[in-house]
Structure 1
Amino acid sequence: MFMKDILKTVDHTLLGQTATWTEMKQILDDAMEYETASACIPAAYVKRAAEYVEGKLPICTVIGFPNGYNTTVVKVFETKDAIANGAEEIDMVINIGDLKDKRYDVIEEEIRAIHEACAGKILKVIIETCLLTEEEKIKMCEIVTNAGAEYIKTSTGFSTSGATFDDVALMRKYVGADVKVKAAGGITSFVDAEKFISLGADRLGTSRLIKIVKNTDTGAGY
């Protein structure tokens, strides 16, 4: 694949705690220049970002991030607020403790409620694969499919590790045909990115690929 085709699958991401509006604008400028799928940024910046890009780029934000322990009511409020501020895509974190406790109905009901709050916008469900058993990963594929979310996502990038090839392959095998897969966290090269896509990832959450392009002499042929 060409680099530019891979970049079209990227949610160009900046979620660090110290990120400033100046840094956010650079992320947005780069995402527009290289035509990424979206820019994924903190909710506090969504309104300014949406106004800044003037419809040229979908704005994605995160809900219940990074630990997933907010109550469902809070997550729903966060989602509605983000959509009202101009977010086109929502990446939510599940309550992993509920999964460990096998409270499957509670998790599914929460995803359904947040999906409804998305009002037709894209919902990606972060399951934090590095903290789960294979059985739990497979169960979350079933839950996300049943709840009607558009994507299942590997990781926040804030836990013990990010996406792995094995996890993406497993998710693609067990998730419903209408559910897409997002790999996020630790994607450091175009070689790895292409491998994730070949295994079934439809989106990639990363900031490093654009940095690679900007730091090489690939020119217009990127």
Structure 2
Amino acid sequence: MRRFNRRVFTLPVPLTAFSLFGFGKGSTTSNDDSSQTSTKQHSTSRIGLPRYIDHTALKPETTQSEIAKLCNEAKEYGFASVCINPYHIPYASDLLRTSQNVKLCTVIELCFIKKMLKKGFPLGANSTFTKCCETIESILNGANEIDFVTNVGMIKSNEWDKVAIDMTCVVLASKYTYQWVQSKKSELNRTEVSVIAHYIISTVEELRKTGKAKKVDKNWAKFDDLTNFVQSYNFDTDTKSKKETCLVKVILETCLLTDAEIVRACQVAVQSKCDFVKTSTGFSSSGATASHVSLMRATVDTEAKKLGFKAGTIKVKASGGIRNAVQANEMIKAGADRIGASKGVEIVQEDLKTQSKKTS
């Protein structure tokens, strides 16, 4: 049963910079040693190429029959996930209900104005509150992986505290809502969805200003653990427990950034507790490159170690323009843990033919 299936109505919430997760007044991030970290080459033999692929259909004209085909192919080939627009989540969730291995990934703030699309300019420019509400709605409808676009304009304006707020709040909205769904708590209405988003953002603000956070208003005692959740959330690195979690991937749109901006954005993503950094939406001026993937891999590993986590805690997703097995394997060798592609079937079939020739 879906826990929420109505459009969220959102209101603007003012944001300020904050110190949570290492971003505050006087905090700095360095890229001195990130690009020098050696990148361990991955091998598709580790899990097999299909398990790297997020089978993707994000064009606005995608039909329900195409979504059904996408889901069936994902189950047949054993892809990591299907990645679709939020509107199709309830339908795809029903189709994938019997498949525990194929995750349901959706995109937040992956919207494009026609004129901007021609210029290759993706939007990550909605308010953080709106992104949080979209994220909560998507998870309540059945999504268990969230890909969202960071605000490229903030990066270009050197507003790194705001970038960190944006990333952190989406992460917290994802993790809290998924925990809510997994614990089989009651359904949420639109007002409650807005309350969760509001309290996440306002708690982050309060932590920035005073170092303390106010408890949830008694009128919303249903969410009395929310403040503590925001204060204490960390990466779930206990792989032994095999605890399922909602993965959050932040899309940097690397083709619009300098190498220095990519490094800094990756550092912010790690400190904001994103699970993945992702190259591209696939709708901008160009897509993933092996050099960008390698840079991202080195940076997130270095930053993770600084925070006391193992290299590999934060993953890298390559997407945009990956249309064949040669390109896919090139990205994996550069350090990608996932491949976003609309041609997943063709990529796998081509790879199987290549492997067959090598063994014959």
TM-score, with length taken from structure 2: 0.58
State the partner residue of 1:60: 105
Letter of the 1:168 partner, please give it.
V
Q: Is the 8 A contact 1:151 1:180 kept in 2?
A: yes
Match of 1:51 among 74, 94, 106: 94
Calculate the aligned-residue CA RMSD, in Å.
Answer: 2.0
Letter of the 2:174 partner, please give it.
C
Unpaired segments ≥5 residues, structure 1 = none
Match of 1:18 among 57, 61, 66: 61
Deviations 1:4-51 (A, max 9, x none): 811111000000010000001101100110000000000000111111
Deviations 1:33-73 (A, max 9, x none): 00000000000001111111114121000001141111101
Match of 1:41 among 84, 88, 103: 84
- Percent identity, aligned pairs only? 38
Letter of the 2:288 partner, please give it.
A
Q: Is the 8 A contact 2:325 2:351 kept in 1?
A: no
Name the SS for the 2:107 alignment partner.
strand
Label 1:55 to 1:107 Cα distance change in 2 as closer, same or farther (>3 A).
Answer: farther
Higher relative contact order (CA 8 A, sep 6+): 2
State the partner residue of 2:285: 160
Query: Larger radius of gyration, structure 1 or 2?
Result: 2
Superposition pairs of residues 123-202 of structure 1, within 5 angstroms: 123-175=248-300, 176=304, 177=311, 178-202=313-337
State the partner residue of 2:344: 209
1:211, CA displacement in angstroms? 2.8
Name the SS for the 2:170 alignment partner.
helix
Q: Is the 8 A contact 1:11 1:203 kept in 2?
A: yes
Pair 1:87 & 2:143 matched:
yes
1:207, CA displacement in angstroms? 1.8
Unpaired segments ≥5 residues, structure 2 = 1-43, 112-122, 176-244, 305-310
Label 1:132 to 1:216 Cα distance change in 2 as closer, same or farther (>3 A).
Answer: closer
- Count residues in correspondence: 220
Name the SS for the 2:280 alignment partner.
coil
* Rounded Cα–Cα distance in structure 2 between residues aligned with 1:152 and 1:42: 19
Name the SS for the 2:59 alignment partner.
coil
* Rounded Cα–Cα distance in structure 1 between residues aligned with 2:350 and 2:289: 25
1:166, CA displacement in angstroms? 0.5
Q: Is the 8 A contact 1:190 1:209 kept in 2?
A: no
